[in-house]
Amino acid sequence: MTEISAADVAVPVVLRVNGNEYRISAEPRRTLADALRDDCGLTGTHLGCEHGVCGACTVLLDGEPVRSCLLFAVQAQSAEIRTVEGLAAADGTLHPLQEAFWRHHGLQCGFCTPGFLMLSAGVLETRPDIGDEELREALSSNLCRCTGYQTIVEAVQSVRDAGEA
């Protein structure tokens, strides 16, 4: 018989985030975004619209960028998850994308930045020679209300061109 977890009971959930294992307890309805922020304490992942439009909550799931507000934590148990906390090196050295966003003014208020960084990381790691048009299309996945996007595009292009991601 297939196991069915009850609706109002938290179940043990194991998440692998940035190479670390988090053993948490979550109701099935808990989104991955909420689990990352509230149960794992990884508040770098931001929540904007919570229905898949803005992309602020983008994380990498087995290397591909996904909306963590559209996944339940229980669904993500067998996956390798990466969040913005995993980008910089342990000694604090910024990831090339973080450096490039800084250098190219790819952020202003910073709310959308974790989502854009993870989207960009996923795109460049899986499609390192992505063309300009395709890259703009990919970056149109997320919303930014400060920059006007051009500086974000330039930041990601510079990392692509340097082959650094």
Q: Give CA separation, 95 vs 69, 99, 100, 108, in Å.
A: 24, 6, 9, 18
Query: Would you say the C-alpha torsion 152, 155, 159, 165 has a positive or negative sign?
Result: negative
| Site membership for another protein, residue 132 (CB under 8 A) | no
| Site membership for another protein, residue 45 (CB under 8 A) | no
| Site membership for another protein, residue 5 (CB under 8 A) | yes
| Site membership for another protein, residue 165 (CB under 8 A) | no
Give min distance, CB of 97 to another protein, in A: 16
Write b or e for each residue in 119-149: b if 16 or more Cβ atoms lie within 10 A of its Cβ, otherwise e. bbbbbbeeeeebeeeebbebbebbbbebbeb
Q: By CB under 8 A, which span of 16-24, 85-93, 94-102, 133-141 interacts with another protein?
A: 133-141
| Site membership for another protein, residue 4 (CB under 8 A) | yes
| Site membership for another protein, residue 72 (CB under 8 A) | yes
Residue 67 CA to chain centroid, in angstroms? Answer: 7
Binding site for another protein (CB under 8 A): 1-8, 11, 27-31, 34, 38, 50-52, 55, 58, 61, 64-67, 69-72, 74-75, 78, 119, 123, 137-138, 140-141
